[in-house]
Amino acid sequence: MEYLLHILILIGIYVILAESLNLIVGYTGLLSIAHAAFYGIGAYVVALMALKLGSPFVINIICAIIISGLLGGLVGVPSLRIKDHYFIIATFAFQVIAFSILNNWVSFTGGPMGLPGIPQPVIFGWQVSSHLEFLLLVGAFAILVFWLCHRIIKSPFGRVLMAIREDEVFALAAGKNVALYKVAVFVIGSGMAAIAGALYAHYISSIEPISFTVMESIFIISIVIIGGAGSLWGPVVGAVLLVMLPEILRFVGMPSSIAANMRQILYGGLLVAFMMWRPQGLVGKYGFRLEDTKK
Amino acid sequence: MSSWLKIDNLNKHFDGVKALVDFSCSLDKGEILGLIGPNGAGKTTLFNVLTGFIAADSGSVVFCDVYLHKKPAHRIANLGVARTFQDLRLIKQISVLENVLLSFRKQPGENLANTFFRAGRCRKVEAENKDAAYSILGKAGLAEKTNSLASDLSYGQQKLLSLVCCLVSDADLLLLDEPVAGIAPAMIEQILSIITDLPKQGKSVIIIEHNLEAVRQVCNRVVFMDAGEKICEGTPQEVHNDPRVIEAYLD
């Protein structure tokens, strides 16, 4: 039973990550491979505050969202000047820098050993300790993030994002401040990723930089693209599928040493296959291709 | 009285190619100006400079007493300048209706804080815009296509839609880049009749068009340009009979 709850909690965390990345990649057409960095920043801010300051969870998570959101805005800024592949490299650089800091600033972040012993969160007197309670917490946040994304996408703001994805020149000619929208969507997406990080830190209770590498970023991108970039339900479908996939490998009796490699091969293979034959993902309508955004 | 739109001595060079050379021109409210000239004459460059997509090397543009040069494209658009593109830009992955809705200026719902904290007002404006969009799409004969993707429209309908997008923007100055090129005669008539009506709504238009018959039909005044320079200017008839124009078109 705990095993099942564990899987569901992970799905919830990845739904948050994928929905938030979907705003940036799927709806605005900016391919970012820095999402794991914001996930990690959220986790580390919450862990450090809980361990060093002992401040309450609600305050910590708000700080994590704000810090990650501001850094996200910083990553959004280069998107105003550089495009396509060059922008992807810029986000890649941010991802590498963030990981290096987490990994090397030993006195502050604990270095490669990470931060162990993160206490269980207490929310207005409710101590979240059992798997079921964590599932409720993660589920509530996942629903909140999904609802926020839904509202954003169905608003005139979301309509402008989709216009930017396809043709920035048209959006400019229609009087939309494209630069502002791009930075804003990065702030929002990064802030949401920090929520996932905060929940993960408290749930696992011990975080290490290795959880927030570029591999993790690519995993989140795979969820978005395989599920369906630019659709609301795509990231949910993708998260369920890609989180459960390695568990299926476990059940067919593959030894864990092979399963780990097998998983990487599967993710990579799936991503390539989807980009080639079904760029709109499982449930999406919009075919994710860089060429669409270029013109 | 100073002109409503005043273009003064614009210059623009692209690596030695002269796209605009001391180009000056003015436009009054309610006027329809035709801009003709051979390919590469700098007509579209002029539009790009007017709308802020390209910065001129020198010269100035004053629209309703506001200097336009050095202003970013989206701000110029919000000052009341709308344009269409020669290569027909529309957002093809969203519906015809959404393309029109996108073109309304200054929507409260485009500010996310309003979406969440002043949802009532956003919904009200959105509903009003939708009504306006339905009505104008109806008039343009696109009512049946309201919910189709913009990519499902025929070429002529897409041109019509991009004109509709300009109309709902409530801009006072419309810059139309080849509005009737490459479309069926019946639709040309429809588009020209929409354009002819614009001065009655207090709007001014500059049209780039190779179809001289269409230009003669709708324009009060025509400017002929070649190699970035204004060669001559006058009524459609005068320009049409100018030997330099005849020479350029016979080449």
pLDDT in tens, B84-122: 998 889 998 899 999 999 999 889 988 888 888 898 999
Which residues of B, range 96-125, sit inside 8 Å of A by Cβ? 98, 101-103, 105-107, 109-112, 115-116, 122
Per the structure, how many domains does chain A have?
Answer: 1
Give the per-residue pLDDT at B16. Answer: 82
Q: Has residue B242 got a pLDDT over 50?
A: yes
Q: Give the chain B residue whose CA is nearest to the CA of A164.
A: B91
Residue A57 in contact with residue A122, Cβ under 8 Å? yes
Provide the 3-class DSSP secondary structure of residue A46: helix
Hey, of A28, A159, A186, A288, which one would you mutate to test binding to chain B, going by the most B CBs within 10 A of its CB?
A159
Return all residues near A11 (Cβ < 8 A) that are at least 6 apart: A239, A240, A243, A244
User: Where do the structural domains in chain B lie, given as residue ranges?
Assistant: 1-80+171-251, 90-164
B74–A188: do the CB atoms touch at under 8 Å? no
B53–A178: do the CB atoms touch at under 8 Å? no
Residue A249 within a domain: no
Give the per-residue pLDDT at A72. Answer: 95
Distance CA B48, CA A240 (A): 48
B165 touches A at CB < 8 Å = yes
pLDDT below 50 — which residues of chain A?
Answer: 292-295
Q: Has residue B38 got a pLDDT over 90?
A: no
Chain A residues close to B109, C-beta within 8 Å: 155-157
User: Which percentage of chain B shows pLDDT scores above 90?
Assistant: 55
Residue A27 within a domain: yes
A162–B77: do the CB atoms touch at under 8 Å? no
Q: Has residue B1 got a pLDDT over 70?
A: no
Q: Has residue B164 got a pLDDT over 90?
A: yes
B249 touches A at CB < 8 Å = no
Residue A193 in contact with residue A38, Cβ under 8 Å? yes
May I ask the CATH architecture of the domain B1-80+171-251?
3-Layer(aba) Sandwich (3.40)
- Identify the CA nearest to A211 among candidates A229, A225, A199, A227: A199
Give the per-residue pLDDT at A78. Answer: 86
- Identify the CA nearest to A121 among candidates A65, A68, A58: A58
Residue A195 within a domain: yes
**How far apart are the CA of B219 and the nearest CA of chain A, in angstroms?**
24
Give the range of the structural domain holding residue A162, as residue numbers without chain letter.
2-209
Distance CA A68, CA A64 (A): 6
Between chain A and chain B, the number of residue pairs with CB atoms below 8 A apart is 87
**pLDDT tier at B251, thresholds 50, 70, 90:** low
| Cβ-nearest to B112 among A157, A162, A167 | A157
A155–B115: do the CB atoms touch at under 8 Å? yes
Q: Give the chain A residue whose CA is nearest to the CA of B95.
A: A159
| Cβ-nearest to B73 among A162, A166, A172 | A172
Chain segment A198-232, per-residue pLDDT in tens? 999 999 999 999 999 999 999 999 999 999 999 99
Residue A260 within a domain: no
Give the per-residue pLDDT at B69. Answer: 80
